Structure formats: structure tokens, C-alpha cells
Amino acid sequence: MAYKLEHTAEIASELPGELLFKIMKESSLVEANGVPAKALNNMLNFITREFEADEHWVVEESKKDHCLKWDLENPLIKESIPFNHELKEKSQHPFFTVEINKPFLLFKHHLIFPIDLNQQKIYIGFSSQHKFDLTSQDKKFFHVISERLKELILLINNERKEKSKSQRLETILDRLPQAIVFTENKNGDTWLNNEALEIFGLGKNEKSIPSELFSKKLSELKVKVTNKEEVELVGSNMISLNALPSSFGEDWIWKFENSVLKVIRKNAYIGGKEGELWVFDNVSELYFANERLNSLFRKLNVAYNEINANLTEFQSKSSNKSITDLEAEESRIIQQYDDNDILGKVTHDLRTPFAKVYTIVQLLLTDNQENLSPQQVERINLIKQVVADGLQIVKGFLDTGNMVLDDKKFNPEVIDVQEFVDSSLMPYELLSAKKNIIFITQVLDKNLKLEVDRTYLRRIVDNLVSNAIKFSPNETQINYTIYQEGDEIIFSVKDQGPGLTDDDKSRLFKKYQQLSAKPIGTDESTGLGLYIVKTMADKMGGRIWVESEKGKGAEFKVALKTIS
């Protein structure tokens, strides 16, 4: 039911003094140092806390099926997004609740304050996972909030009109660390920040240029990329899909001889002007660190392939020998390589570059974290974890020699299975997301306990999940399930990959085996992982097996004895 607003001052005077003081203090321009946008942000944060909401937002009506979502740090910047018409249907009320979660909202329940501004409708929303209880406050409270929000919006709108176009754009663009270019649709004027001037080889006095000159400079930059086909393909997809900025998730990577740029192109409103926004983000350090890691793994794989090539040659020349003779000769060849310490030399050489990459990543996080976005920090931490794991693998090779585990380094302890699973999920989910794989984790029983070596168990699960991701096609599903069966706890990893032949299954847990299935993408298999997994499972008194048919995926299971 709508409440008729007669006189704001009268309604405010009827509110409890403490509540009215809170509203005025939180929305005070004095508290916000005279900045209306900051006062609005303070007010929105206050209301969010008051009603235990999860987020707040401001959108204004624009075209028929689109609206503009405000950047609340700087309301001059607005993003064009799809509009939900359920908001307009109730906009005659000073406030209302509604249940929607599309197209741009994360949560289902919303408290909305619609505001009329010069025949234009603005919606201020508060979103929550739970329904809003409006009975906890008098309706007069909501009316006062509505009027105060309207006053702040008017102040922001007036301030925006008073600022000159050049001052607005230069302030916005130059405060950002990325190279930013904005081309206005109406007259084709293009503005560039300082970073963009450097990338395109322009002078300090060329911050505003015709769109034709920018197009020429952009073409000159594209000529220099080393991955032209990839750049053109992704660019064509963006245009053909007419992708909205919040819906197009594919990275557009431009590679050059000594640098790498991540490029974003979207429709946007800046300073009240509609146009095209380009963002050029230098991700060179992150990209080249990842490339170095891949190179190191490829070097290690060369050694494994050399061993396998010699075994294959031997087996092709020895078809008339007995099985016993073949196995003896195979062991002799492997031992010869172990004696010559090829694997030892490679792993020893890998340890130093691994340590260097780890140090570089640590310095990135220590010295530059304030300049990194949360997504960049998350990705760098993932690289750090991968390098740390690689160091552990190299250390394991050096420590265990011919992969015979050292009793002195076997350290069983009682672990909580749920805690163990929760602590290791993020890398699996991030790596799965790279291939659009749905990764489902389930612990089907509660209070599961094991007495095992935590490092061994982590290595086992990491290997099985990594293999599942490696051999799975894009947009499939992996199930990681843990449950109790009798006196054993089963760790199951099931994929929808190519599956295994009977011959594969007979050789699965032996050293240096290359199977019929090949990794999908650029990943490569070393032929040692499952041998190590079985050795560790045996060491902990467990067992490992696989259930698979060719073409129907594979399910690897590890069974370990539970403790009472």
C-alpha cells in the first residue's frame, strides 16, 4: 500500500529524534567533505546496514530495453545494461519491494526507491538473499529516506551539469592505471588518458583527437600483434554477438614481441555522453610468468618422452622374447636411465627456475598489490600455488630418487575429511572454469576422519582431479565425491572424457606409460603421475582402481581405512 506524502518536514518531525539524526548524519554533505556522490554512498551504506541487505545499486532509465547502471565511486561513469520492466510497473509508489534476479541482479529480493528527475526515472535498489521486513519501521521512515535520496540525486545531477566536458573526462581517465580510450557516438570525438597516449605514440597535447585518427592508430597497433588470427576472431565474435559488457566473458589478448595486452571494448556512458570505451590492460608479467612455467613443464616432459621412445624401440625389436624377458629388459632400460640420472638432472635444473618464478610472484603481490584488481590478485595467487606445488614435485623427485618413498618422510596424522576437501577446492574450480567444465564436489557423509599423510593425500587428489580436467572436453562435468563404504572412505573423481581401453587399464599404474587417450588442449602427460599416486596409496594402506569404458569417461577411486 502506498503512503501519501503530504509534508516531508511534518513526517520527519514525527520520527524518533535518534533515527532522524542518523539519517541526516549519514547523508550529510559536511560528513562527505562537500561531495554529493560521497554523501549518497554514505547514505546507501547506512540503509544497506539498517536492512541487512547484501548490495545496493542505482540505475536510470535510458532506451526502451536498456538502463544505465551508475558507478557509485564516480556517478559520471555509467554502464549500459538490460532493463527489467517490473521496476517501472511499480514506480508510482515512493518505495516498494519486488522479487527479480535478471538481467543484472545477483539476489532475488529487492527494496526499491524510484525517483523522478526531470521526467527521467532513477531507481535506487537494495538487494538481499532474504525478504525485506518493512514492518520493522514506520512507513514515515521510508518516506524520509526517499526524499533524502532524491535531494542527493538532484545535487549530483546539478554538479554534473556544472563541470566542463574536458575536466570531467581527463579526471576520470587519468586516474586509472590502464590505457583508456573513449569515442563519443554523436560527434566522433575521442579522448585518451596518459597511458593510452603512450601506447598509441601520441603527444601530451593530443588527448582529444578525431575518431578517424584513433581508428588509424588502432590499426597500426593491430599490425604489430603476433597473434593476428586470434585477435581478429575474438573481435568478430564481439561484434556478431552484439555482446553486452557484462555478458561477454572471453579474454581478448593482444600479444606483441615484448608485451601482452588484455583488451576490453564496450558500450558505455561517460560524462553523460554515449560512446565506445576501450581498455588496454598490460598483463605482460602475469602472462610471461605463466609461459615460463609451461616451458619448464615441457622440458621435463622431453625427458619422459626420451625414456618412452627407447622403451618403444626396444619392444618393437624384441617381439619374439618371452614376457618375463621383456619385463626384465624394460626394467634394465629404466634403471639405466635412472643410473645416468637423466630425471635427476632435469629435476635439479628445474628447481632453480621454479624458485625464481615463485620469488617474482611473491614480489608482485608484496610490492604491487594495491595496484591490482581482486581478479588479478586471485590469478597471481593461483600461479603462486601452482609454482609451490611444482617445487614440491621437483623436491619429491630429488628426495625419492627412483620414486621409492622414504619412510622417514612419511608423516601420518588424523585429518577431518570435510576440512581437507574445503581447503583445496578453489584451484580445482578455477582450472575447471578455464574449460567451462562444471566441477561438482560432494561429501556425502559427516564427521569423516582419516589417519593419513596429508601431503600424500593432497598429491593423490590433485593428480586425479588434474587428470580429469586435462582429459575432459570443454563444457562437460566432473564429479568429486567422498563417502564412507564399510570401514573405508572412498575418494571418487569421475569425468566425461575419452575413457580407457583394456590395454590402458592394464598399464595404468606403471612408470612412464603413455595411454591411448590424449590430453585436450595444450596440457601434456608425463606418464609418472598415476604410478606416484598408487605408490602413495599403497604406503597409506589404501587401494586405487578405475572404472571405465572407452568413450564413456573414467571414474578413479581411492579407498582408505577410516578411524573409529
| Helices (runs of H) and strands (runs of E) counted in the chain | 18, 19
Residue 299, Cβ neighbours under 10 Å: how many?
13
Strand 273-282 versus strand 120-128 pairing type:
unpaired
Beta partners for residue 416, in sequence order? 449
Residue 400, Cβ neighbours under 10 Å: how many?
14
Give the confidence band of 478 by pLDDT, cuts at 50, 70, 90: very high
Task: Give yes or no for a contact between 75 and 156, defined as CB atoms under 8 angstroms apart.
Answer: yes
Give the confidence band of 293 by pLDDT, cuts at 50, 70, 90: low
DSSP classification of residue 278: E
Domains and CATH numbers, the chain: 15-63+96-165 (3.30.450), 176-241+249-284 (3.30.450), 318-370 (no CATH), 413-561 (3.30.565.10)
Task: Give yes or no for a contact between 180 and 279, defined as CB atoms under 8 angstroms apart.
Answer: yes
Residue 256, Cβ neighbours under 10 Å: how many?
13
How is 396-432 classified by DSSP, letter by letter? Answer: HHHHHTTTPPPGGG--EEEEEHHHHHHTTHHHHHHHH
Instruction: Give pLDDT, residue 39.
Output: 87
Task: Give yes or no for a contact between 176 and 182, defined as CB atoms under 8 angstroms apart.
Answer: no
Instruction: Give pLDDT, residue 154.
Output: 86
Instruction: Give pLDDT, residue 341.
Output: 47
User: Bigger pLDDT: 47 or 331?
Assistant: 47
Three-class SS of residue 362? Answer: helix
Q: Which of 6-15, 223-232, 342-351 has the highest mean pLDDT?
A: 223-232
CA-CA distance, 530 to 535, in Å (whole number)? 8
DSSP classification of residue 562: B
Question: What global pTM score does this model have?
Answer: 0.36
- Upstream peptide bond of 103 is cis (omega within 30 degrees of 0): yes
Question: What's the mean pLDDT in 94-118?
Answer: 80
> 352: which residues sit within 8 A by CB, 6+ positions away?
none
- What is the Cα Rg of the chain in Å? 31
Give the confidence band of 522 by pLDDT, cuts at 50, 70, 90: very low
Strand 260-270 versus strand 77-82 pairing type:
antiparallel
Name which of 267, 291, 290, 287 is nearest 277 in CA terms: 267
Residue 205, Cβ neighbours under 10 Å: how many?
7
Burial 111-134 (b: 16+ CB within 10 A, else e): bbbbbeeeeeebbbbbbbeeebee
CA-CA distance, 397 to 341, in Å (whole number)? 11
- pLDDT tens digit sequence for 12-37: 555 566 667 778 888 888 888 888 88
Instruction: Give pLDDT, residue 414.
Output: 93
Lowest mean pLDDT among 286-290, 292-296, 429-433, 559-563: 292-296
Look up residue 233 and give its three cell numbers: 576472431
User: Bigger pLDDT: 329 or 84?
Assistant: 84
- Amino acid letter at 140? K
> 25: which residues sit within 8 A by CB, 6+ positions away?
31
- H or E element: which one contains 139? helix 139-162
Question: What's the mean pLDDT in 375-396?
Answer: 68
Per-residue HEC secondary structure of 199-215 comes to: HCCCCCCCCEEEHHHHH
Instruction: Give pLDDT, residue 200.
Output: 92
Share of the chain above pLDDT 70, in %: 66
CA-CA distance, 489 to 492, in Å (whole number)? 10
- H or E element: which one contains 152? helix 139-162
- pLDDT tens digit sequence for 235-252: 776 655 554 333 344 568
- The sign of the CA dihedral 266, 268, 243, 237 is negative
CA distances 448 to 63, 109, 443, 538, Å, are 56, 37, 9, 20
Question: What's the mean pLDDT in 81-105?
Answer: 77
Give the confidence band of 403 by pLDDT, cuts at 50, 70, 90: very low
Instruction: Give pLDDT, residue 540.
Output: 92
CA-CA distance, 195 to 197, in Å (whole number)? 5
Lowest mean pLDDT among 237-246, 273-282, 433-442: 237-246
